[in-house]
Chain A
């Protein structure tokens, strides 16, 4: 079906994950692997850039829920940026904005980390 792509970039001490395409039950493991690798590498400050993401399913949302606690326990976090409206609506409906930080711009999200420490 539709394909999915993840790419990891380092911006200072923050890891930026670019997600692209369709994030669903089939493609979620790819993103999971990426997060697992970050935890092994002790990279707990993560910004996920949704600029090129077209669709996210409940399984895709679950990936962030699975890892956010570990990041936060290690003075890190998962922050979201550059989300289009349709994807944001899905997060919003579920109440993610209550628990996660969303930013319009990736830089803004990255800076947020550096301000705090």
Chain B
């Protein structure tokens, strides 16, 4: 919006300036000779307004563009040369056709007016360009100086009127002229932008400024001279002549100042270039921090920038991984060589003053002797990357030339290393969090798979209610339960618990499911089955992992079941409100793979009457803790069961879980919870 308004304002100014120029043109047609005072004054005013409006237009024109000093100076030079051309042509045509000036016929009048218009255009453009250079790289607003100068230009311009009225009043013009020159000289000194140019451009600028001095001096000479061109402009408007004169003088003074300033800046140009390289490298790095999250990419950029920042021929970066330092990226040096050098240098245990040090050529001689590498570095500097008081890596830079690293280089690499350490740490954290997110997704998948491994629904058996529930402590768990239909009359039920939690337990749980699933179809005797399961697990369980299980085979017709236990929490049998712990002997699967296991397992026969309930569960229930770290305990569980014998299997399950949740409300779940309830009912009554 604002931009559009500016655009409109600018085109308005262009319209005005075209209008004024047309007016000026018409005025010259109507009054080719404006020697009488009123027309003279009006004409002078129109000329100045034309100049001023065009200047205002160009000012906006420049503001809308990104100004680079060198092209601007070059433009000034070309335009100054153009003035030279116009002046020469005018001089030529005037000297050959001198009669025409006297007669002022229409064609030549037209011609000279057009020439002057071009002249006004060029001069205004030069002046605007000079103004732009004046404002370039200024920290404070210097417009007051520029405006003062403009006002004095105005005074000098119109002081020609005084001369016109009485030539004795020439001193007015002279004094304004002198003041203008002083102001020009002062304003010409504002050339701080030169300091910021790269060395190459400075050299270039010196050449241009020499040309500028010559061209402007020549133009100034032509304007001030008493020959043809001067007469032409002077007869058109003496004020304009003065103005052009001043601007040409401005050009001369300015070019001279530029020439000398650049010359004096040349010796320090290189140092300045380096400083600005450092600054821009740091800026690049800060950009990288926010844009590059890939650790490897960042490491490579950091290495590349290190070479730039301390004028080095090679650089490399090592990062601490565990207890070792690992080479992460290299620039203009072989991987192997960088690695060997790093080991050699770090092996020397240099005193790191403020985290940075220089390794001289002498110190490197033993390394060169020991390795056959094409080693050609003269000195090396390196700096620590710090993270929370710890060294997280090193940044190395090496030079081949015999220019030793100095304190400035040390400071540069050290400052850079500080930034790099932060950036790299940042990238590492982001990478880790991405990794974490990925792991979480994987875990979600694992959880879904585990849910599929467990039975989707409980079997529907006449005269029996079955309820089953599994809640892992983490995404996945090591508990397992299953039902197998062995034949028309018998079902097998198993609950198992792998020691440990999480992923490792979940893997074994999946294996245990496979073993129970396949062996239950072959061995119908619970004890025999557990012995066989133990045999199979021998090859896969590591020594510190074990699996507890409880397994029974139920005859659905008779209600008789035979049960074996291997280290698992005892089953609970509730019969007429009386609780009985079913805990036949048996050691956990994986505790022993010999005869001890088989000998330890004892089977138990139970008879389920109508209304009897058999509850299998994992230790996650009795070992659930409250905020005081007290166990939920077996007794509490037994009490709940005893008081809810009349309820259905699902209702009992809900009740146990409700009580458990209330008990452990302030404490997170530590272990997987499995609960499988079987109730025999009499549907005939």
**B-contacting residues of A (Cβ < 8 Å)?**
2, 25, 58-59, 61-63, 65-66, 69, 93-96, 98-99
The count of A-to-B residue pairs whose CB atoms sit within 8 angstroms is: 57
Q: Name the contact of B544 in the complex, choosing from A62, A93, A99 (C-beta under 8 A).
A: A62
> CB distance B591 to A58 under 8 Å?
no
Let me know if A66 and B592 touch, CB within 8 A: no
What would 20 A/B residue contacts be, using CB atoms closer than 8 Å?
A: A25-B500, A25-B501, A58-B546, A59-B499, A62-B499, A62-B500, A62-B543, A62-B545, A63-B544, A65-B543, A66-B542, A66-B544, A93-B568, A93-B570, A94-B567, A94-B588, A95-B566, A96-B591, A98-B600, A99-B596
CA distance in complex: A59, B587 (Å) = 16
Contact in complex: A94, B543 (CB < 8 Å): no
* In contact, A94 and B591 (Cβ under 8 angstroms): yes
Interface footprint category on B: 20 to 34
B393 part of interface (Cβ distance < 8 Å) = no
CB distance from A42 to the nearest CB of B (A): 20
* Residue pair A95, B585 in contact (C-beta under 8 Å): yes
**Contact residues of B with A, CB < 8 Å?**
499-501, 542-546, 548, 566-570, 585-588, 590-592, 596, 600, 629
Q: Are B500 and A58 in contact (CB under 8 A)?
A: yes
Q: Dominant SS at the B interface?
A: loop
- Pick the contact of A98 from B543, B544, B569, B596 — CB < 8 Å? B596
Known A65-B546, A66-B544: A95·B587 in contact at CB below 8 Å: yes
| Bound CA span A62–B591, Å | 9
Q: Complex formed: what's the CA distance from A69 to B673 in Å?
A: 31
Residues of B within 8 A of A66 (CB): 542-544
Judge whether B500 and A61 touch: CB under 8 Å: no
**Distance to closest chain B CB from A68 (angstroms):** 9
Chain A min CB distance to B617 (Å): 13
Residues of chain B lying within 8 A (CB to CB) of residue A99: 587, 591-592, 596
Closest to A64 in B: B544
Task: Give Cα A96–Cα B499 distance, bound, in whole angstroms.
Answer: 14
| Measured CA separation A94–B499 after assembly (Å) | 11
Indicate if the CB atoms of A95 and B500 lie closer than 8 Å: no
- The CA of A65 and the CA of B591, in the complex, are separated in Å by 7
Residues of B within 8 A of A95 (CB): 566-567, 585-588, 591, 600
Assess the A59–B500 pair: CB atoms within 8 A: yes
For the complex formed, measure the closest distance between the CB of A49 and the CB atoms of chain B, giving whole angstroms.
Answer: 21
Q: Decide: A58 and B499 in contact? CB cutoff 8 A.
A: yes
Q: Closest approach, in angstroms, between the C-beta of A47 and any C-beta of chain B?
A: 20
Greatest chain B CB density within 10 A among A59, A62, A69, A98 is at A98
